[in-house]
Amino acid sequence: MAGASAPSLSIAVMNSGGLGACGALLMQPSSIIDWATEVRAASDRPFQLNLWVPDPAPARDIAAEEEVRRFLAQWGPEVASTAGDAVPPDFTAQCDALLEVAPPIVSSVMGLYPADFVARLRARGIAWFANVSTVAEARLAEAAGADVVVVQGMEAGGHRGCFDADKAEHEMVGLFALVPAVVDAVHIPVVATGGIADGRGVAAALLLGASAAQIGTGFLRCPEAKLHPAWADALANTSPEGTAVSRVFSGRAGRSIATDYVRAATAPDAPKPAPYPVQRGLTSAMRENAAKQSDVQRMQAWAGQSAALARAEPAADVVQRIWHNTEALLT
């Protein structure tokens, strides 16, 4: 989970039998290497490193950005005229860092890795898990050489992993329909993710044909996740319909708590968000200010539809309870 991948969370999950994970999107290569060094010092169990495959450079519309900046100034500090210029770390350098760390698994989201990187992963014996959100994307991933597809239902917290950003709101498939459809369409193992946060969800995913389940929001209240307390506390009171998919934080569609800012920024009279990553840069001042003031209504509070199932308990207890309950349901 980019921005929510504290080493302590992965260490706790790995040492209790799960797979650790680092969403490295926002990390410079040196930070990726430091993350892996810290995790390896505390656990010899497997983990994955994850990157977003970059979209083509966005078309800039300065007049439209100006409208968004004016709107955002009602929700936080004035937005600097250069705020939309911020770009994520260099993808190629991040890929090199992944190869240097050489974890057992590297995963992708928002698209497919280039063929030369896939070949380099393969040469080092690193498995490639490709996140997909439709049957068509799963087929493309398999054809491109993915070893596993991670199937993301539209219930999921955080960004939707659609290859084509424009389709995110039009191809919203729930996990109950998506898992069996992908299991029938590909020959590689399928991991289910999106709205799974307890043994019932994992058991259902396995019955639908998944080989494993991936959990995001369900770990966000664990102390090892070190989440902002205002966000962690708000998850406990978030109903499935209390979340919303929008582009108002980053310009890419993602599911968050439907806060006051999300509702206002998605109202018909609000300016259309700028494309990714421009909108992320434009909202950065508001998000930082909101975090300082512990104001969840303006924070980027990602949340899946099962947010209320997340427990404020040590991650090891969460993993063990979920697996125990899964086994009980399946035997």
Ligand X SMILES: Cc1cc2nc3c(=O)[nH]c(=O)nc-3n(C[C@H](O)[C@H](O)[C@H](O)COP(=O)(O)O)c2cc1C
Binding residues for ligand X, rule: CB under 6 A, are: 1-2, 4, 23, 25, 50, 109, 131, 152, 155-158, 161, 193-196, 214-218, 302, 304, 306
DSSP H or E stretch at residue 282? helix 278-292
Give 159's strand partners.
Answer: 254
In this complex, which beta carbon is closest to ligand X, that of residue 69 or of residue 256? 256
Give the residue at shortest CB distance from ligand X: 216
Residue type, 30: S
Q: How far is the CB of 111 from ligand X (least distance, A)?
A: 11
Quick one: CA torsion of 4, 7, 8, 12, rounded to 10 degrees? 100
CB nearer ligand X, residue 18 or residue 157: 157
- Shortest spacing between CB 227 and ligand X, in angstroms: 8
Q: Which of 4/278 has CB closer to ligand X?
A: 4
Q: How far is the CB of 281 from ligand X (least distance, A)?
A: 17
Q: What is the nearest approach in angstroms of ligand X to the Cβ of residue 299? A: 11
Which pair of tokens denotes residue 306? 């099962």
Nearer to ligand X, 193 or 283 (CB): 193
| Smallest gap from residue 212 Cβ to ligand X (A) | 13
Nearer to ligand X, 71 or 194 (CB): 194
d(CA 192, CA 214): 6
Q: How far apart are CA 244 and CA 19, in angstroms?
A: 28
Amino acid at 81: S
Q: How far is CA 87 from CA 14, 52, 90, in A?
A: 32, 13, 8
The nearest distance, CB 52 to ligand X, in angstroms, is 6
Question: Could you identify the residue written with the tokens 């899946």?
Answer: 304
User: Distance (Å, rounded) from C-alpha 242 to C-alpha 258?
Assistant: 6
Cα radius of gyration (the chain): 19
76 vs 218 by CB, closer to ligand X: 218
